[in-house]
C-alpha cells in the first residue's frame, strides 16, 4: 500500500549541542498558571484550577519569523517555558514525572486574543484563538543533562527592547510534575510531547515589525520578528 498523497513532514525542533532532531508529537498548553497573569485576564487564581488546551505540532516556528495571522486585530505574545518529554505513559505520579522530561525550550504561545475572547464568551472551543498556523515559535530544545531541571529563575520577554513580561518559574501555580501527573490522567503522554507551562503577567498585542526577545534562566533565548 502507498499513501494517496505525500504525508506532511514530521514537525521537529533542533536540539542544542546535538545534530539530532526532536520530533514533536503534541503540544499541550496550560492556561492561567501564573497568579498575576490570571488576574490580568480577569480571573481569580485562588478559585480556579488550571486547565489545558492544545496547539497542533505543525504550528511550531523555528526560523524566528512569526507571520501576523489572518482574521485578528489583537494578536498577543505569551512567553513560556516549554517542557519536552522523552518518554510518556498514563497515570504518572508526580514522584516519577521528572524522569520523563528530556529537556526544555523557550516558546511563545501566540494568541488571537479577540477571537479567543469571543470563544470564551460563547462557550466555544479555543482553537480559533490558540491553534492557528505558526502560533508556536520555539527555541532549540536544551537537554536536561545540560541545563538541569529548572524550578526557579527568571522568565521574561522584551518587545522592541523594552521589558514587557517578567516572572519567575517558581511562581507557577501548578509545577511541572503536577502538570505531567494531571495530563497523564487524561491523555497518553508520549515521547515528543511538548508542554507549554503558562505565561507570567504582561501580555500585550504585537504589530508587524515587532521584535520579541524571550528568555528563561538556565534554558536560553528566543528571538522572533513579526512579519
Ligand atoms: Mn499560554
97-137 residue pLDDT tens: 999 999 999 999 999 999 999 999 999 999 999 999 999 99
Region 34-58: mean pLDDT is: 90
168-206 residue pLDDT tens: 999 999 999 999 999 999 999 999 999 999 999 999 999
Kindly give the distance from the C-alpha atom of residue 38 to the centroid of ligand 1, in angstroms, as a whole number: 11
Q: What pLDDT sits at residue 56?
A: 98
CATH code of the domain covering residue 55: 3.90.850.10
Domain that holds residue 203: 12-226
Please give the tally of structural domains in the chain.
Answer: 1
Kindly give the distance from the C-alpha atom of residue 81 to the centroid of ligand 1, in angstroms, as a whole number: 10
Region 54-79: mean pLDDT is: 98
Q: In 3D, which of 189, 211, 205 has the Cα closest to residue 78?
A: 205
Kindly give the distance from the C-alpha atom of residue 80 to the centroid of ligand 1, in angstroms, as a whole number: 7
pTM tops 0.85 = yes
Q: What pLDDT sits at residue 154?
A: 98
Kindly give the distance from the C-alpha atom of residue 215 to the centroid of ligand 1, in angstroms, as a whole number: 15
Please report whether residue 5 resides in a domain: no
18-28 residue pLDDT tens: 999 999 999 99
Please report whether residue 3 resides in a domain: no
Please report whether residue 4 resides in a domain: no
Q: What pLDDT sits at residue 50?
A: 76
The C-alpha cell at 112 is 488571537
Kindly give the distance from the C-alpha atom of residue 201 to the centroid of ligand 1, in angstroms, as a whole number: 11
Q: What pLDDT sits at residue 48?
A: 76
Please report whether residue 7 resides in a domain: no
Please report whether residue 6 resides in a domain: no
Kindly give the distance from the C-alpha atom of residue 143 to the centroid of ligand 1, in angstroms, as a whole number: 22
Amino acid at each position: 500500500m502507498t499513501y494517496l498523497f505525500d504525508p506532511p513532514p514530521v514537525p521537529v525542533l533542533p536540539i542544542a549541542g546535538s545534530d539530532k532532531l526532536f520530533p514533536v508529537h503534541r503540544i499541550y498548553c496550560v492556561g492561567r498558571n501564573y497568579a498575576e497573569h490570571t488576574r490580568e485576564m480577569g480571573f481569580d487564581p485562588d478559585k480556579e484550577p488550571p486547565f489545558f488546551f492544545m496547539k497542533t505540532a505543525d504550528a511550531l516556528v523555528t526560523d524566528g519569523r512569526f507571520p501576523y495571522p489572518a482574521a485578528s486585530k489583537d494578536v498577543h505574545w505569551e512567553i513560556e517555558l516549554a517542557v519536552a518529554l522523552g518518554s510518556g505513559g498514563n497515570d504518572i505520579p508526580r514522584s516519577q514525572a521528572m524522569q520523563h522530561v528530556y529537556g526544555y525550550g523557550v516558546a511563545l504561545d501566540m494568541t488571537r486574543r479577540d477571537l479567543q475572547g469571543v470563544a470564551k464568551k460563547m462557550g466555544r472551543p479555543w482553537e480559533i484563538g490558540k491553534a492557528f498556523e505558526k502560533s508556536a515559535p520555539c527555541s532549540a530544545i536544551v537537554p536536561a543533562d545540560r541545563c538541569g531541571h529548572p524550578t526557579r529563575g527568571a522568565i521574561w520577554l522584551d518587545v522592541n527592547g523594552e521589558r514587557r513580561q517578567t516572572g519567575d518559574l517558581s511562581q507557577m501555580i501548578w509545577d511541572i510534575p503536577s502538570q505531567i501527573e494531571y495530563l497523564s490522567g487524561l491523555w497518553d503522554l508520549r515521547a515528543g510531547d511538548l508542554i507549554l507551562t503558562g505565561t507570567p503577567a504582561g501580555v500585550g498585542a504585537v504589530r508587524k515589525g515587532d521584535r520579541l526577545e524571550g528568555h528563561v534562566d538556565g534554558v536560553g533565548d528566543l528571538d522572533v520578528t513579526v512579519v
